Amino acid sequence: MFEAEIERGAKVLDKDDPGWALENAKRPIGIKRLNMNSPFTCVLGQHDGDFIPGAKRLGLLDWDTYIAHGFAADDYSDYPQLTAEWRAFIRKRRRDARLALSQTKGSKKP
């Protein structure tokens, strides 16, 4: 439902802070506490401390832009789904990074 928007938002974060979604990031996202309807525990809230300053720092200046990048929902009832999809996205990023690391380690020869 929000795949394209989340991809768009992740690209903005990737450009600003590569590795933002990983467990060892400077400000790792706590998946269990992630709540896209909270200005403090949403992706930008956890990354920047607060939603609005984080969005503005990334150049996202209005509600339509927040929605287009998956950082907000147009309908309040969509927030649980938006949160679930961000959790899944971040989990996949972390799995992919672990897999890439294990393949890199496995391909090194003594």
- The model carries a pTM of 0.92
Query: Which are the contacts of 65, defined by CB distance < 8 A and separation ≥ 6?
Result: 55
DSSP structure string for 19-68: TTTSTTSSS---TTT--TTSTTTSHHHHHHSSHHHHHHHTT--SHHHHHH
Q: Number of folded domains in the chain?
A: 1
Average pLDDT over residues 106-110: 58
List, for residues 79-98, the tens digit of each pLDDT value.
Answer: 999 999 999 999 999 999 99
CB atoms within 10 A of CB 5: 20
Evaluate if residue 105 carries a pLDDT over 90.
no
Range of the domain at 41: 3-107
